[in-house]
Amino acid sequence: MQEFLGLTQEEASLVEMRLCLANGLRTLRTKQALTQKDVARRVGSSQSRVAKMEAADPAVSIDLLIRTLLSLGAGREAVADMIEGRFGQEAPS
């Protein structure tokens, strides 16, 4: 992706983190059986903004993504796992 889009290493990392947080939000929301509208009410936003968060729209700040995750009960460790792409994976037995 980095070479194809002509991104710097930093830009590529930021895009990847945004995608991981967006996927984590969608996963957390569906695990809690919440609609995008439910999430929007919790954070004082709109359903369309939540849809943009889940689509990793660059118009949505990473700050808003993280605040939304925290409002759904994700802790710092869960957010870190999302950024690392480990969120929702089963621990090896």
Q: What is the mean pLDDT of residues 22-27?
A: 96
pLDDT in tens, 34-74: 999 999 999 999 999 999 999 999 999 999 999 999 999 99
90: pLDDT strictly greater than 50: no
pTM of the shown model:
0.84
* CATH architecture, domain 8-83: Orthogonal Bundle (1.10)
What residue segments make up the domains of the chain, in order of their start?
A: 8-83
Here the contacts of 69-73 (C-beta below 8 Å, separation 24 or greater) are 69/21, 69/24, 69/25, 69/28, 71/39, 71/42, 71/43, 72/25, 72/28, 72/29, 72/32, 72/34, 72/39, 72/42, 73/28, 73/32
Q: What is the pLDDT of residue 7?
A: 82
Q: What is the pLDDT of residue 54?
A: 97
Q: What is the pLDDT of residue 87?
A: 77
